[in-house]
Structure 1
Amino acid sequence: MTGYEPPTALPRELLDHAGMSAAIAAHDFGEVFRLARSEAGISYSKIAAECDIKPERVGALARGLGSVTTFEKIAQIADALRIPGAALGLAPRKWETPDTPRRELPLPARATATDRDGDEVRRREFIKASAGAGLAVGMPDLTRPVTGRRVSKEFPQQLRERTARLRRLDDVLGGGDTYRVYLGEYQATKALLRDCTYTEETGRSLLSVLAEQAQQAGWAAFDGGKHHDATSLYEDSHTAAVEARDAALAGNALAFLAYQAVNGDRAAGIQIAARSCATAGPDAAPGVRALLHERLAWAYAVAGLPSETERALSAAESALDEIDGSLQPDWVAWVDHNELQIMSGRCWTELRRPLRAVPTLESALAKYEDTHARDKSLYLSWLAASYLTAGEVEQSAKATSRALDLSAGVASVRPRQRLAPVLRRLSDHRALPEVAEVLEKARV
């Protein structure tokens, strides 16, 4: 075997590619195949022939559908693509020579100790490398959850706990990194519902989990710029939640749809957001009501309706005040008074009320950890916009610069989209050194 060099052997420089290193470490062979074709011109038909996989299966894997889990097939892929065994957790392959570079689950080269905010960059890269295999949060293997083809009544709760732990990836990674993970979880649960047997009660619980997973996948799609996929997943979530009789999740699915709609049809966004609150109802958990009223406030603010915005924010605050330590759904665990302050500041920014927005955002962001890099960079963009409205150009440039630093390397389209109009407004003041510096940073 050592004398044969397959036509699918990956070039050494591609093995050093940050994305390829992460995909190999995560056993995300679909991404490995996709990069092999896009970066090295290795066709899927050649990969299929060398790996003894049907060509349509190779294409499906590259689109994020399915996974490779058997030892035999992983070893075969390693040999066909000349991936060193250590990089996949295998023993050295027969074709390896003493000078074959060892790649034991490497981190991308850019995560170095000299990077700005280096610790957080390394943290993001490590989690990103693990996310494709669902390993970043140390979860148990739930790939074979059933006895025969029957789902136990305990399994939906186990699956919900897994979903909650995977949700933590969104704290540090953007949707471009998490979408495939969340979509895979949703598709796996959908297959369980289709292929297995269960009681009516267990079926409703599975549908509720499916609705939750669809929302998480939809959010990652939205964050990664896949808006059509996001809409489809939110609609699927709403259908599943209604069938599961889970009013809270049905309301949240509508709130997600409203968040998308308000950027185009503001009246439709308000209508859907109001419907989301009504769907969840007054008996929903306080955290759920707080979240849905926050999103209603946002819809009103984008439409330029200050009185309605203030009423919705007040309703959200009243709901948060009701939380007395009782258990809330995990998907609203991030909603607290500080987060409500941030949403309030965002709303007042949209309404061009900088005297209210600036102190609110400054106070809230002082308590907001840099580990939430994507979200903090987004929130800083609203602070920068309010500074500009107030005529504080230098302060706006400072906030914009920090937002650019935090968003660097985060796989989300939203920070740069949010900063684009701020940068255009700042360009009118390019004669100021602080502005010239941040404009150059944005250009680079």
Structure 2
Amino acid sequence: MGSCVGANIRHLREQRGWSQSRLAREVCQAARVSGEPVGRQEVSRWETGKRTPREWLPFLATALGVTVDALVTAQKTVDPPLPTLTEFLPEGDPLSPLECRTGRRVGMGTVSELQQRVHGLRLADDVLAGGDLIRPALRDVRRAVKLYRESSHTSEVGQQLLSQIGELAQIAGWIASDAGQHEEAERIYRLGISAARQAEDHTLAGNLAGSLAYQMSNTGREAEGLTLAQIALHDAGSEAPPKARALYLDRVAWAYTKAGGATGGQQAMRALGEAGQALSEDSEGIESPAYLYWVDAGELKVMESRVYTELHRPLRAVPLLREVLGGYDATHAREMALYLSWLVVALADANEPEEAAAVAERVISLGSETSSERVAERMRVIFDRLQDYTGVPEVAALLAEH
């Protein structure tokens, strides 16, 4: 019975996008007990069959929304298994070391230098657009791969180099995507997934997969984007650091929103709720990677407001967007233009075309200062949306000028 129950518990938990910590809390709540008589480790023991829930079965069933019989019975029909990230690796092995290495022997000092370069590129991306950074980003990727393949190093140094190549691929892929070079971005992301997996850094691999999923969702490959976003969440495991798990769920929410369907909106809102829960969870000693410094409650609000806009729920979207924009750093012109573009659409949906036109002017002003294909695409979206209000003088004047 143990393995059957464990498999069912895990399957039902992952269906809900819950971490083991979340399920432990839900079980305690269902049992109406204080403290934490059931914790993450206990749930892990149940799922692996090391321990049987026994007296906790009724409360597990309640928390998971099933009967006790369903929990202890082997399920004949289950959801088809997701693919794994191995299906998204590049062809061949572009990271295979050369048999005859001609480069120098490198150590941790070289790893630190590469780490600083990656961090600098991330900081530059906060204030510059993809068109400004694409050349140095691609150059850095080529140099890092060449360094790894041609130099000699210990296995520990090699693993650290792979992790830094993975981090570099994530930001370089993001920059390439922002520059509108989507095929190049996908190649870089896949390279990064390979590097992260070889370094056994599952959190980083999930971040790279989620970034590629996000691009797919935004470039007409919604079904692929949803599948890959789910894989990123699943493969990283429920024990991923809180910020990482929140980010994976954030991307799942967006993927559901873009994919649409009868339950897309509901699934998106549930994922957003889980993302907020993940961010607030006690890390239980698991430190989030430094490269996720930007993932916070404010970023989750940004995604929530965008989801509401995409779902045409302006009464929810407009207040959230105003709140986000009110506290945003004006020096980040690209992000400001993007967030304002969502406000334009939400205001148009709320039948406020005059104000939408005024905000659109700000988007155009900011967009003219940034070489971002994302901003250019959003400008096309708002011009298209405002076509419904050509009879409004402010809108007519805006469209005539631009």
**TM-score if structure 1 supplies the norm length?**
0.64
2:222–2:258 contact (8 Å) kept in structure 1: yes
The code of the aligned residue for 1:334 comes to: W
Q: Deviations over 1:79-112 (max 9, x none)?
A: xxxxxxxxxxxxxxxxxxxxxxxxxxxxxxxxxx
| Structure 1 residue corresponding to 2:244, chosen from 267, 276, 288 | 288
Distance 1:309 1:320 in 2: 17
The offset of 1:248, in angstroms, is 0.9
Partner of 2:372: 412
Structure 1 stretches of at least 4 aligned residues deviating more than 6 Å after TM superposition? 323-326
The yes-or-no answer on 1:297 pairing with 2:257 is no
Counterpart in the other structure of 2:343: 383
Structure 2: distance between partners of 1:207 and 1:215: 12
Q: Tell me what 2:174 maps to.
A: 219
Alpha-carbon spacing, 1:161–1:329, altered in 2? closer, same or farther (3 Å): farther
Superposition pairs of residues 103-252 of structure 1, within 5 angstroms: 149-252=104-207
Q: Report the CA distance between 1:208 and its aligned residue.
A: 0.7
Offset of residue 349 of structure 1: 0.8
5+ residue gaps, structure 2, are: 1-102
The code of the aligned residue for 1:424 comes to D
Secondary structure of 2:108's aligned partner:
coil
Distance in 1 of aligned mates of 2:362 and 2:245 = 33
Distance 1:424 1:163 in 2: 38
| Percent identity between the two aligned chains | 42
Which of 329, 334, 338 matches 2:298? 338
C-alpha distance in 1, partners of 2:177/2:120?
20
Provide the rounded CA distance (Å) in 1 between the counterparts of 2:245 and 2:187.
24
Bigger RCO (CA 8 Å, 6+ sep): 2
CA deviation vs aligned residue, 1:143-184 (integer Å, no higher than 9, x gap):
xxxxx8111134323421331122111111110110111112
Q: Residue 112 of structure 1 aligns with which residue?
A: none
In structure 1, the residue matched to 2:319 is 359
CA distance in 2, matches of 1:229, 1:172: 22
Distance in 2, Cα, partners of 1:219 & 1:383: 23
- Deviation for aligned residue 1:396: 1.3
2:280 paired with 1:321: yes
- Change in Cα spacing, 1:319 to 1:154, as seen in structure 2 (3 Å) is farther
- CA RMSD for the aligned pairs? 1.8
Instruction: Give the corresponding residue for 1:92.
Output: none
Task: Give the letter for the 1:409 counterpart.
Answer: E
Q: Provide the C-alpha distance between the structure 2 equivalents of 1:249 and 1:165, rounded to a whole number of angstroms.
A: 18
The answer (yes or no) to whether the contact 2:341–2:379 under 8 Å persists in 1 is yes
Q: Deviations over 1:200-221 (max 9, x none)?
A: 1110110110011111111111
Change (3 A) 1:440 1:373: farther
Aligned partner of 2:209 in structure 1 is 254
The corresponding residue for 1:308 is 267
Q: Is the 8 A contact 2:121 2:171 kept in 1?
A: no
Q: For structure 1, which segment, 260-269 or 204-213, has the greater mean C-alpha deviation from structure 2 after superposition? A: 260-269
Give me the whole-angstrom Cα distance separating, in 2, the residues matched to 1:344 and 1:191: 41
Q: What letter corresponds to residue 277 of structure 2 in structure 1?
A: S
Q: Match of 2:152, SS?
A: coil
Q: CA deviation at 1:326?
A: 7.7
1:332 is displaced (CA, Å) by 1.4
What per-residue deviation string (whole Å, max 9, x for no partner) do you get for residues 376-421 of structure 1? Answer: 1111111111111111111211221111111212111111211212
Q: Is the 8 A contact 1:183 1:214 kept in 2?
A: no
Answer yes or no: is the 8 Å Cα contact 1:287–1:323 preserved in 2: no
* Matched letter for residue 208 of structure 1: S
Which residue type is aligned with residue 193 of structure 1? Y
Higher helix share: 2
Count the aligned residue pairs. 295
Report how far residue 267 of structure 1 moved: 2.1
Measure how far apart 1:185 and its partner are.
Answer: 1.5
Q: Which amino acid aligns with 2:375?
A: P
- How far, CA to CA, are the matches of 2:181 and 2:167 in structure 1? 19
1:273 matches 2:229: yes
Letter in 2 for 1:393: P
Deviation larger for 219-228 or 150-159: 150-159
- Would you say 1:348 and 2:308 are equivalent positions? yes
Distance 1:415 1:435 in 2: 20
One-letter identity of the residue aligned with 1:198:
H
Structure 1 contact 394–435 (Cα < 8 Å) conserved: yes
| Alignment partners' CA distance in 2, 1:323 and 1:355 | 33
CA-CA distance at 1:271 after TM superposition: 1.0
- 1:323: how far off? 6.5
1:288 maps to a residue whose letter is: A
The 10-residue stretch of structure 1 (430-439 or 333-342) with the greater mean CA deviation from structure 2: 430-439
